[in-house]
Each structure stands twice: as structure tokens, then as C-alpha cells.
Amino acid sequence: MTKPTGRSRGPFDPRLLHYARATRTYLVLSVGVGGATAVLVIAQAWLIATVVNGAFLDHRDAASLHGPLLALLAVVSGRALLAWAAERAAFRASAAAKSDLRQAAAARVAAFWPSGLEQRDTGQLTVLLTTGIDALDGYFSRYLPQVFLAVIVPVGIIAVVAGADWVSAALIAVSVPLIPLFMALVGATTRDRTAKRMRALQRLAGHFLDVLAGLPTLKVFGRAKAQARSIAEVTNRFRSATMGTLRLTFLSSLVLELLATVSVALVAVAVGLRLLGGSMNFHDALFVLVLAPEAYLPLRALGTHFHASADGMKAAEEIFELIETPDGDGARGSVRADGTGIVIRGLDVTYHGRRLPAVHDFELVVQPGETIALTGPSGCGKTTVLSVVLGLRRPDAGTVRLGGVDLSDLDLDDWRRHVAWVPQRPHLFARTVAENIRLGRPDASDAHIAAALDAAGLTEVVRRLPRGIDTPLGEGGAGLSAGERQRLALARAFVRNAPLLVLDEPTSSLDNETEADVLDSIRHLIFGRTALIVAHRPALAALADRVVELPAPPVPAAITAGEGAAST
Amino acid sequence: MNDRPAGALRTLNVARPAQRRITHASLLGAGAIGASIALMATSAWLISRAAQHPAEASLTLAIVGVQFFGLSRGFLRYAERLVGHDAALRVLADLRVRVYERLEAAAPAGLPLFRRGDLMARVVNDVDSLQDVVLRVIEPFAVAALVGIVTVAGMWWVLPQAGFVLLVALALSATAVPWLTGHLATRAEAKQATVRGELSAEVVDIVDGAPELIVMGGTEAQLGRIERADKRLRSLSRRGAGTAGVGLALTTELIGLASWGALTLGVRATHGGSLNGAFLAVLVLVPLAAVEVVSPLPAATQALQRSRVAAGRVFAAMDTRSVVTDPLHPVPIGSGPHTVELRSVWASYPGAGRAALRGVDLTLAPGRRVALVGPSGAGKSTLADVLVRFLQADGGDAMLDGVPMERYAADDVRSIVGLVEQRAHVFDTTLAENLRIGRRSAEDAELKRVLERVGLGPWLDGLSDGLSTEVGPMGARLSGGQRQRVAVARALLADFPILVLDEPTEHLERAAADALTTDLLAVTEGRSILLITHRLSGLEQVDEILVLQGGVIVEHGTHAALLATGGRYAALWWEERLGDQPASTQQNVTDVTDVTDVTDVTDVTDVIIKGGDQP
């Protein structure tokens, strides 16, 4: 199917050279292989002309043409070998470039957190960095080599043909550049319509998915059977509209095919007539005729591979955009915090794309050693306050002093070394249970880990796992329930042994019985430490010295601003 | 779901409805490639003949031929692409309808396909991708076969040995080469799969685990892990790169050899006098032009593999067994008032290991309001599905007005017994359209009224587009509570005499959940309802409460009676009360936490007795 061409861009994005160094060697190699291919194509035509001329007009036998025939065999095999070499180089370059881009992009993900990430779907980001980037294969292994062949081969052929017959050379020289020119013209005129059709296609697939997913609901209301007709109708209406667009978009390939074949036909007729008139010899005529289509082949192939390039360039562009995203945090200070006191005054945080602030004019003072519970209805910004304390989110207004240092002067890495954090939905890393806990403290001994597991009430859970603390977790490993994940994050916090604890509803996914166990451990954990706890459940809030209640978020006027998703 | 590829024939059969158009497209495509081969053949003959200096008139036909073939290729190709795409889109339309109809028959809410959005999205993607069967599989092979046969025949006519050489070259390029490239690609893929999986897991960790890594200072280490996994993949890819160009190289070599062989044979035949020398150039140039016949085939073979995998998943979804069948002569439903009744019903979803309902009795008399409570996995949703005839009881009787439900048409049963599903689907359209699924003919004023009844009045007033507000895909622009309330409003509009509400408050916060339950019970006053819930707050208002556990009703009675009994319901109720007390009161009542501390004394009644002493 036709793909949207997007905004117009050259056949090669120079940023690839910048971000994927592997591309450079490869480009040199591609030019080399392209040049060698052009030489072989010309040699092949010359040898064919020589052999046919010898046998046809000079009546020579196979034995006397032994030399050129053997040479032709070598040239044919040489072309095959070059085709293989070109693809191999392309494949290697593609693998290397993908890995360069992937690593550059991954390094940025951490650096621009959170301002860059919160607007993105993390699932899409992961897909982009793993399989999405594979779209570059089509770009590197099909399209790019063809770009070089499409320039080098026609130029070489025109030069050589000019030596044999300048009229044919002129004909080819005029028609070859017309192909990309007309294709670009047709492409430019149909681009908007094509893009519109692509969007319509996506909407249509969305509609189909919507109806299928809602089938049980439609059945409840007795409306399911009637939908079959509407699906057929909608799809067929889309089909006729699409065919209208395709009639235009396919014009570009019509132009390509017409120019290529008509030019070859013109060369053949012109050469034939001059041959008849005696102003040209057969050898040159056949040489020109064999070469003429070869001048257009690379351009045709380029047209075919153009779609592969569109996907690849789209992936590359998304990655460039990721790499070029500015840092989320702005300048970082270098003053070390002194203690764990927290002073927040007049705090305002507004999330990207939202009109209403998630937190407005918020005050909080935490003395070292104090345990504070943050409560309030969902969407009131409790989690947002925690991310400010963790240095994960810059306030839009207000003063924040952590450990006696203003946030803008604070050495955040140093500050975070004194913090243990249990997020609401902890992430399971794709490594063993022990390694997951060691994230909290890389040098923790096995005894430390066992103690942390015990404190978090996980000993029994881990014992049931197939390989105990060495069981791999996360993607492709064992899964844990939401409650077990929370306890794993708690174990991480235990082993970290940090003076400031930041706990975001650490018991929200636990059943009442487990909650009681874990609450006991938390009580031990917060003893002698500073703790900031978001508490939905009263039993958790009961552990605090002080409860700070955040006001409910203002009632949004339109549903687009509804759902205080910030704190969940 | 299984991921076994479908059979090649069944996969190709997807295109059957557009058979005629595909034939036309293939003929046009064959004509296009045929034209360029014919162009080279006539051109070669033209200049060879011209070299013999005949009268100009004897070349006229060849000149016309060259010009004709030169012009026709482009137009034939243009026509082929149009017809082919038209056929592909028709195949898509037909397949969508067929998939829909099959799923419509099978669709009860309990099947994984309807519970897991990712499975359904994949099926939809697969359906879309199956149009490739037309353009990328059938057409290339059909065109290759047509042109290949005609070209070989033509060569054979000029010089049989040359025809044979071309036949061998084309046949090998059309069969062995695609097979070999496919095989090599699969092998390389299999080798890389594990490393790819590892790399993907590390990438997931840095993306999803970014905040934790930042706070714990693990970013650098994680980048190191990505780099190491990436290096392993890169070195595997380097080693696999050698196989990538094998297909193209082999095709180039085979076609080059065919041209060389035809030339060598042609030189001998010309010298021996068995071939007119004017045809010698034709013998070389035709194979060179014929490369176009076979070059798309490796890609076509891979497209077939991909389509078979997609088709496998689509067919698996389509073959989902219909759980309920209608009788040949359905009994009409009486005018009411209606009663539903379950008599020791056993039921389970196909493929589920053990029965979800194990002898359940339930009567919902006209106007009765019954609540069904129990832990998750107790079989509550299965029971709802039996009541709306999404599911057939395996044992016992599900009756409507004293008649077993299987004697009615399922759609008729659902016109009496309505359901608000646990995750009711909200369609990607306007608020009004979503509500009108309940009643097509409802006026705007009615829609507004019903939204007010479910507590969405103030919210509606705040919407700038009012009832025409788009709710987004899967109702994304509504909050969880708003979605559920819209679903309830829709069911109220439909005016079912009996309404089953399956966990309408499941994904809501406690306060919102309790508010919705109260509103629900208020607006459904006077109707028979079965409220399925795991929250017990507000159940003082219902006529009867059933406690379902492990597929069995373990207790039933009114709220007061059950509480007095001190059984399972009472235990659940106190547990909920304890968890719900506001933080401020809890802080001074320290012994509440003490009570929670003793919960590991497994007997819950302990807690209840102590909890019962709370003010």
C-alpha cells in the first residue's frame, strides 16, 4: 500500500552521519561497489556486442570467441558477487547504525526525564528502540545502496554510450533526470491526498477495532447484527475514495515506466535506422541497446524501494528527535545537602498540556527525623509533591529547599544518595530477585538481602519461587503480584538504609492481612529516619507524627482536563 | 491464542472473493513485464536485421512493435496496480465482515479475546495485513508463472536448447532461491531471537524504570547493560550479514548464466547454420530482461510466511466456538412481569479447568433487588454471563419466566435481562451516540435527563460540546467513574425489566465507588436488579444479599441478618469498615492498629468480635 511521504526530504539525512558513525565507512563502500557494478555492466554489454557481432556478421565459431565468452562468464559472476557484497555491507552497516542510534537514544531517555518522557507513551518508546528501529534495515539494505547505484550507474553508462553514439547518449541523458523530476512533481501534488487517505485508513482500522472490542456491549443492547452491514459499507466507501487517490498517486510510477521504456524504444529505433543507413556499425548499435535499459534499471529499483526508505526514515527521524530532546532538568547545582530537612513554600507544578496546576500554592515543612503522612483525594497532587522532593520534577513556582539547600543549587545526585523511594507502582527489572534488591545498594551482602526480604514480608514468597533469590524477574521471568512488587520495592528501601524515606502508598495493593505485616516493618524502618509517606489507607497514616492533607483538585470545566492522572 | 501459521492454501483462500479482479490484475501485470521483454526482443531483432541492410519497409513492423511495447508497459503496469489495489481492498472489506460475523456469534464478555484489548488489537492488525496476500503474494507468483511460461516458449521457438537453459534458470530462481533465502533468514532470526529478547528487556527497564534508576543512581549501570546486550546482537548480525545478499546474488548469477548459456549455444547454432544470426542478439537480451520475472519472488515468499502467521491468528479468533446456540423454533417471551431463576446451575467457560459455578440457586422476582458479593474469582461474572445468556449452563437450569432459557432466542433473553459489564465498552464517538446504543430513538432531552439521573448532570453542563462531546478511543477522555456512569445511563435508557450490574464500581476509588453504588440503587428503584460487587457499602438497601465463594452460594439473607450471623459476610463487612475509617479518627484510636496486628491469627472472627466493640 502507499505510504505517506511525510514532509519532503532528501534521499539521505545527513544526521545519520552524525549520530551513526558506522554509516560513514559504509557510504564509501557503497560508492565503491556502485562504481564497480557500473564498470561490470558496461563490460558485459561490450562483451555481448563483441560476441554477437563476431558470430552473426563475421561468422566466427565458438572456439574463436572463446576469450570474450570466458570474460563474459567472469563478468556475470562478478556482478553476482558485487550484489552479494553490497547487501552484506548494507546489512552490516545497518546493524552498526541501529546499535549506534539505539545507544545514543537510550542514554538520552534517562537524561531528559521527566519533561521529555511524560508526553510520550513509554510503550511506544520501547517499541521504537527495539523493533521500530529495525525499519532502518529496509532503508540501509535496499534503499541507500540503490541511491548510489541510481546516480553512478546512469552517469557511467551515459559517458560510455557517448563514446559509441552521442545521439543515444543525449537521449538517455535527457530522459534519465526527467524521471526523478516528474516523480517528485507527482509526489508533491498527491502528497496531501495520500496523507489524508493514510489517516482515513488508520481511522477505519480504529473503527473496526472499536466495534469488535465493544461486541459484547452491542450484543447486550441487541445491536450487534446490524453492525456487520455498516462495517461493509464503511470499508467500501473508503475503498472507492482510496481508488480515486491512487489513480493520481500511481501516475508517478506511470511516468517512470513510460520514460524508461519509451526512451529505450526510441534509442532502439534511432540506432536501427542509422544502422540501416550505414552511418553506424552493428557492434556499437548492440552495445548501446544492451546498455540503454541498464541506465534506467537502478532508478526503477529506487522507486520500488522508496517505501522501505519511508518507514526507515520515519523511525530514524523519531530517534533523532529523541536524541535532540533537551535535558529535562536544566542546570544542575553542586552544593551538597546538609541533613534531610525539607522546606517547600508556594509550590506550583503544572503538567505539560494541562491548564490546571497539579499542585497549587503548597506548603510543607519536614523537620529531620519527622514522619509526615500526605493525604487527600486522588488527583490532588500527592505524588507530584514526592517527585519534587526526589528531584524528578522542577517546580514551576515556589521555593524548595532540600537539606537546607535551594533546589537550583542542589547536587541532586548527592541528595538522592540519601533517599530511599518506594513508588506506587514499582518497576520489576529484568534480573534476579537479589539483583533487583541490590539496585538499592549495590554492595549489599546476601545477609543484608535476606534481612530486607524478611522485613518486607517477602521471605515466604521468595522461597516459593523456582530459584529463590536467584529467580529472574520481569520480562520473560517470573511475575510478581502488585502487592509483592510493592514489598520488593520496600525491601530495596530497607537495604538502602537511607536517612530519608519517600513512600508512595506502599500498601495500596496489599490485602488487609499482609498490610498489617508490612506496616509493622515500615514502623521499624521509619524509626530514627525522616519519612514522607503518601497514605490513602488510614492505618498507614496512623504511623505519622503529622498528617498533611492536600486540598481536592479544582473541578475541571471540560473533560479534556478531567482525571487527575498526575497522582496515579 | 496459538501462533501456529495457517495452511498456505487456506491463507490464499482469503482472496477468493476478489478472484476475478486478481486474475485481471495478474494478466495486466504479466502484460507489463511481457511488454518490456518483448521490447528488448524486437529491438534486438530490429537492429540485427537492420545490420543486414534490407529494404526499409521490411523493418516497419518491427519499428511499430518496438514503439508499441515501449508505450504499453507503463500503461499496463498502471492498470495492474489500480486493479490489484482495488482487489486488495475488497478482500479487506470481505474479511472484516466475515471476522465480525464469526466473532459476533461467539462474543460473550468472558472470552480472553474480549477481555484483553491487546489480543483484539492484534487480530485487527492481522486482518489489515492480510490484504498483502493479494498484492505481495498471489500477484507476483501468478505474473511470474504467466510470463515465465510465455518467455520460455518464445525462446524455445527460436532455439530449443536456449529455451531449456532459460527454463532451468527461471525455475531455480522461482523455487530454490526463495526457499533458500527464507530458510537462511529464519535461521538467522532464530539465532538472534534470544539476544533480541534480552536487549528488549534492558530497554524496557531503562524506559519504564527510569525514575527509579535515577533516584537509586543506577542509570550508568543500566546503560552499560544495554550496551553489552547491543554488542552481542551486533556481533551476531555481523556474522549473519553474509547470508543477507545470497538471494539477490543467486538470482543475478542464474539469470546471467542463462544469458551466457543462450549466447554460447546461439553462437554454435549460428555457426552450424541451424539459427538465423539475426536472432542471436534476441537470445542474449531476453534472459537479461527476464530477471524482472523472478526478482520479486523471494520477497513474495516471505510475505506468504508472514501472511500465514497473521492468518493463523485470525482463523484462531474466527474459530472461537460459539458458546450459546439458538433453538430452531424459539419460544416467544411473555409480556411480564419477568422472573429469572437459577436452579443448581453449574457453568464454566470453554477451556477453563474447573467449573466457575458449582450448583448456584438464585431467584430474581419482579422488583427484587439482590446483591451478589464475594472475592474475585468466586464466579460472579460467570453468573452474570449465564443470566444474559452469554453462557450456557453446563448443569442445572437457567430459567426466564419458568421456561429454560435455551428455548428462547438469546437476543430475546437479552431484551429482558440487561447487563452493565464490568468494563463496559464506550465507543469512540460522541456522548450522545454512546447513549443512543441504549435506545436509538431517544431525544436529546431524554439523554440529558438520564445523565442527570446517574449523577453526570453538573459535568454535562460544564462540557462545551455538551452531548456532542467526543469521548475518545475506549472512552479515554472520560474518567473511570464517568465511563461507568455513562454505561449505566445507557442501560437505563434501554429500560430492561431486569438489570444485572457487574462490578460497576470495580476500578473506582472507595469514595467514588460508594457514591456510585448509592446512586445506582436510587435510580434503579422499582426494577429487578442484581448488583454484583466486592464493596459492601450501601448494601443495607437491598432486599437480599448472596455471598458467592468458590462457585457456591455460602450465605444469603438481608444485611442485618447476615451481620448478626457473624459469618463470612460479617467478616468481609468489618474488614472493609476497618480499612475505611478516616485517618483523623484513626490516629487517636491506637488500638485499631493493634487489632489489625493480630490478623495473622488466621481466624477472622477474632477481629470481628474486637472490631465489633469499636464505637
pLDDT digits (tens, 9 = 90+) for B37-60: 999 999 999 999 999 999 888 999
Mutate to test the interface with A, among B46, B161, B223, B387 (most CBs of A within 10 A): B46
Please tell me the predicted confidence (pLDDT) of residue B109.
59
Q: Which of residues 179-218 of B touch A (CB under 8 A)?
A: 196-218
Residue of chain B nearest A206, judged by CA positions: B473
Instruction: Using CA coordinates, name the residue in chain B closest to A91.
Output: B241
Q: What is residue B48's predicted lDDT score, i.e. its pLDDT?
A: 95
- Give B542 to chain A, closest Cα distance, Å: 24
Which residue has cell 496512623?
Answer: A542
Give me the pLDDT at residue A11, please.
Answer: 62
List, as one string, the DSSP characters of A260-283: HHHHHHHHHHHHHHHHHHTSS-HH
The answer to whether residues B174 and B294 touch, using CB atoms and an 8 Å cutoff, is yes
> What does the alpha-carbon distance between residue A359 and residue A337 come to, in Å, rounded to a whole number?
24
Tens of pLDDT, residue by residue over B454-510, are 888 888 888 888 899 888 877 877 877 788 889 989 998 998 999 999 888 766 666
Q: Would you call B223 and A293 a contact, using CB atoms and an 8 Å cutoff?
A: no
Which candidate in B36, B100, B265, B411 is best for mutational testing of the A interface (most A CBs within 10 A)?
A: B100
Determine phi and psi for B343, rounding to 5 degrees.
-120, 115
CA A93 to chain centre: 18
Compute the average pLDDT of residues B190-213. Answer: 85
**Mean pLDDT for chain B overall:** 85
* Mean pLDDT score, B562-580: 78
Q: How many CB atoms lie within 10 A of CB A301?
A: 17
pLDDT tens, residue by residue, B82-103: 999 999 999 999 999 999 988 8
User: Is residue B64 less than 8 Å (CB to CB) from chain A?
Assistant: no
Q: Are A430 and A494 in contact (CB under 8 A)?
A: no
Helices within B376-463 (DSSP H only)? 380-387, 410-416, 431-436, 444-453, 457-462
From A89, which residue of chain B is nearest by alpha-carbon distance?
B241
pLDDT of residue B336: 75
Residues 435-494 of B with CB under 8 A from A: 437-438, 459, 462-464, 469, 471, 473-474, 477-479, 482, 490-491, 494
Torsion of CA B137, B139, B142, B148, to 10 degrees: -100
**Contacts A55 to B, Cβ<8 Å:** 266-267, 270-271, 277, 280
Cα–Cα nearest to A101, from A123, A130, A122, A76: A130
User: What gap in Å lies between CA A485 and CA A487, rounded to an integer?
Assistant: 5
Q: Among B466, B367, B484, which Cα is nearest to B424's?
A: B484
Exposed/middle/buried for residue B592 (C-beta within 10 Å: 0-12, 13-18, 19+): buried
Distance from CA of A7 to the nearest CA of B (A): 25
Amino acid symbol at A246: L
Contact A474 B204 (CB under 8 A): yes
Helix locations, A344-445, DSSP H: 382-389, 412-417, 433-438
pLDDT per position as a tens digit, A130-146: 878 888 887 877 787 78
In three-state secondary structure terms, B381 is helix
pLDDT > 60? residue B598: no
Reported as a single tens digit per residue, the pLDDT across B103-119 is: 888 877 567 677 666 77
- Which spans in B454-582 are helix H? 457-462, 480-494, 510-523, 559-565, 568-580
Task: Tell me what pLDDT residue A477 has.
Answer: 53
At B351 the pLDDT is 66
Bridging pattern class, strands B395-400 and B403-404: antiparallel
* Model pLDDT, residue A1: 36
Cβ distance B259 to A218 less than 8 Å, yes or no, reads: no
Look at chain B and count its residues. Answer: 615
If pLDDT is split at 50, 70 and 90, which confidence band does B592 have? very low
CA distance B179 to B185: 10
Contact flag B246-A84 (C-beta cutoff 8 Å): yes
Residue environment code for A58-93, b if the CB has 16+ CB neighbours within 10 A, otherwise e: eebebeebeebbebbbebbbbbbbbbbbbbbbbbbb
Residues of chain A with C-beta less than 8 angstroms from the C-beta of B78: 250-251, 253-254, 257
pLDDT at B187 over 50: yes
The ipTM value here is: 0.80
Q: How many CA atoms lie within 13 A of B79 on its CB side?
A: 17
Q: What are phi and psi of B334, to 5 degrees?
A: -70, 180
- Whether the CB of B284 is below 8 Å from some CB of chain A: the reply is yes
Quick one: pLDDT band at residue B381, thresholds 50, 70, 90?
confident
Burial class (CB in 10 A: 0-12, 13-18, 19+), B183: exposed
CB contact under 8 A, A257 and B78: yes
pLDDT at B578 exceeding the cut of 70: no
Give me the residue from B44, B56, B252 closest to A80, CB to CB.
B252
Q: Which helix (H) or strand (E) holds A77?
A: helix A66-111
Chain segment B268-311, per-residue pLDDT in tens: 999 999 999 999 999 999 999 999 899 889 888 888 888 998 99
Query: Would you say B293 and B177 are in contact if contact means Cβ atoms under 8 Å apart?
Result: no
Instruction: Give, for A204, the enclosing helix (H) or strand (E).
Output: helix A166-213
DSSP for B55-103 reads -GGGGHHHHHHHHHHHHHHHHHHHHHHHHHHHHHHHHHHHHHHHHHHHH
Chains A–B, number of C-beta pairs less than 8 Å apart: 463
CB-based contact B456:B432 (threshold 8 Å): no
Most A CBs within 10 A among B212, B255, B465, B580, hence the mutation to make, goes to B212
Nearest CA in chain B to A543: B587
When mean pLDDT is compared across A331-345, B342-356, B508-522, the lowest value belongs to B508-522
Check if the beta carbon of residue B178 is closer than 8 Å to that of residue B240: no
Q: What is the pTM of this model?
A: 0.78
Vertex B333, ends B328 and B334: CA angle to 5°?
Answer: 150
Give the DSSP letter of residue A221: T
Question: Quick check: A217 and B437 CB within 8 A?
Answer: yes
Task: Name residue B419's beta-bridge partners.
Answer: B500
Query: What is residue B596's predicted lDDT score, i.e. its pLDDT?
Result: 31
Q: What is the 3-state secondary structure (H, E, C) of A515-549?
A: HHHHHHHHHHHHCCCEEEEECCCHHHHCCCCEEEE
DSSP lists the bridge partners of residue B528 as B498
A206/B428 CB distance under 8 A: yes
- B-chain residues within 8 Å CB-CB of A251? 78
User: How far A537 CA lies from chain B's nearest CA (Å)?
Assistant: 7
In whole angstroms, give the CA distance from residue A424 to residue A533: 11
DSSP-derived 3-state class of residue A122: helix
Phi and psi (nearest 5°) for B7?
-60, 150
Cβ neighbours of A199 (radius 10 Å): 11
Number of neighbouring beta carbons within 10 Å of residue B583 = 19
Q: Does B71 lie at the interface with A, CB-CB under 8 angstroms?
A: yes
Among A52, A190, A242, the residue to mutate for chain B (most B Cβ within 10 A): A52
| A84 close to B253: Cβ distance less than 8 angstroms | no
Segments in chain A below pLDDT 70: 1-11, 112-122, 307-308, 326-332, 352-355, 378-379, 474-479, 509, 511-513, 553-568
B61 interface with A at CB cutoff 8 Å: no
Contact present, A448 and A441 (Cβ < 8 Å): yes
Mean pLDDT of B521-546: 85
On whether the CB atoms of residues B156 and B182 are closer than 8 A, the answer is no
Which percentage of chain B shows pLDDT scores above 90? 43
Q: Which residues of A touch B204 (CB under 8 A)?
A: 126, 430, 474-475
pLDDT at A91: 84
